[in-house]
Amino acid sequence: MAGAWPNPEFFLIKDISLTLKDGSKLDVDRSLVTRAMQYSSTSGFPELIKWVKDLQEKVHKPPTLEITDENKQLDIIITNGSQDGICKTLEACVSAGDNVLIEVPTYAGTLAILNPLKPKILPVESDKDGIIPGSIRRHLSKWNPEDSQNPKSSIPKILHCVPNGGNPTGSQLTWERKKAIYKLCQDYDIIIMEDDPYFYLQFSKPYVPSFLSMDVDGRVMRFDTFTKVMSSGMRIGCLSGPRALVNKIIQHQQVSAVHSSGLSQVALFTILQEMGHTGFLQHCDKVADFYKRQRDACLAAANKHLSGLAEWVEPSGGMFVWLKLPQIKDTYKLIWEKAREKEVLFVPGNAFMIDSSVPCQYLRSAYSLVSAEDMDKAFERLSAIIKEELKQ
């Protein structure tokens, strides 16, 4: 008589059958459906957690699987997409006035989470090879490594980065830089938030090893998602990290979402179980190959219409090309007003900057949904808009 669970007699769904695009049909195990209709474990369905944990072991081989300190052992929570885990982690770890290391430019959603928390954001420079370790080192030069043991110190506790196919840059953090960054975070006892939704959309193999794969200390919080390769509407991601920190996120989940959608979890698990880890990775390869072709079409259109007007670096993965218009002081009005009038949409670069009010010469172009023909039209129109702007 203690439980506040609704009576399942009135739950309307009894069976779930899934029809996949290849025509095959999967029946979700009825016992899973029954469990999915009721409240369940905050951390996620045990079957899905095990599948994900086995995948992490297969792909990343995390040292924290074998670590003896229980607080640092690898643990996992299923989240409502990876952004849910990022939001909860930042809310747990960041207070007003805290110094936080953030790669710039960065995902606009991360900035939207951070800004209400009112930290002091320390922008970490990046280029085509991702975060520049020297930029982190310059920020940290204000402190000594021993300051990390002083609770009253203002030393940064968090580094957030998007290491693969970054939104918006499409850049990829190299293995050599990752090693240097991890060493810096060891020296100054910094938690690495490895926000990696595009990990499986890398355009070359083998995959660049993750921070999780080198984490001997239990300082990496890794955020994965099934959004980019399975379904964005399912809203299923996962957070992998040291148990002590993951437990805090589980407590947050208990008082916010309670748990991720049971129906989404069992539907996804049924598909993943049928595919197996090998089948899942093969599927990811097909998705990455598609986006690589899209990238190539996007770059071909850019070369055709924007040579001499824009600069860009070939993306290593993901869905975006990051364009610089060196002759335009600020892209905001050009994109939000003039480009929209010509019925073409991009995102002005200031959306991905710490201070969006500062003039920015960049824009983000997404090639995930657009045909090669429409990409050609889009850059043709953008070229005309830039040329018209330069005449004024």
- pLDDT tens string, the chain, 392 residues long: the values are 888 899 999 999 999 999 999 999 999 999 999 999 999 999 999 999 999 999 999 999 999 999 999 999 999 999 999 999 999 999 999 999 999 999 999 999 999 999 999 999 999 999 999 999 999 999 999 999 999 999 999 999 999 999 999 899 999 999 999 999 999 999 999 999 999 999 999 999 999 999 999 999 999 999 999 999 999 999 999 999 999 999 999 999 999 999 999 999 999 999 999 999 999 999 999 999 999 999 999 999 999 999 999 999 999 999 999 999 999 999 999 999 999 999 999 999 999 999 999 999 999 999 999 999 999 999 999 999 999 999 87
Domains of the chain from N-terminus onward: 28-275 (3.40.640.10), 284-391 (3.90.1150.10)
Q: Are strands 99-103 and 74-79 parallel, antiparallel or unpaired?
A: unpaired
Residue 151 burial by CB count (10 A; 0-12/13-18/19+): exposed, middle or buried?
exposed
pLDDT on residue 238: 97
CB atoms within 10 A of CB 38: 12
pLDDT number for residue 364: 98
The whole-number pLDDT of residue 392 equals 77
Helical axes 262-306 vs 46-60, angle rounded to 10°: 40
Q: Rounded to the nearest 10 degrees, what angle do helices 243-255 and 82-93 cross at? A: 100
Residue pair 314/299 in contact by the 8 Å Cβ criterion:
yes
The number of beta carbons lying within 10 Å of the beta carbon of residue 2 is 4
CB 86 within 8 A of CB 225: no
According to the 3-state scheme, what is the secondary structure of the chain? Answer: CCCCCCCHHHCCCCCCEEECCCCCEEECCHHHHHHHCCCCCCCCCHHHHHHHHHHHHHHHCCHHHCCCCHHHCEEEEEECCHHHHHHHHHHHHCCCCCEEEEECCCCHHHHHHHHHHCCEEEEECEECCEECHHHHHHHHCCCCHHHHHCCCCCCCCEEEECCECCCCCCCECCHHHHHHHHHHHHHCCCEEEEECCCHHHECCCCCCCCCHHHCCCCCEEEEEECCCCCCCCCCCEEEEEEHHHHHHHHHHHHHCCCCCCHHHHHHHHHHHHHHHHHHHHHHHHHHHHHHHHHHHHHHHHHHHHHECCEEECCCCECCEEEEECCCCCCCHHHHHHHHHHCCCCCEEHHHHCCCCCCCCCEEEEECCCCCHHHHHHHHHHHHHHHHHHHHC
pLDDT value for 1: 82
CA 310 to CA 377: how far, in whole Å? 16
The structure tokens 């099934």 sit at 226
Beta bridge partner(s), residue 130: 127
Confidence at residue 193, expressed as pLDDT on a 0 to 100 scale = 98
- State residue 2's pLDDT score: 85
- Listed residue (252, 265, 274, 270) closest to 78, CA to CA: 265
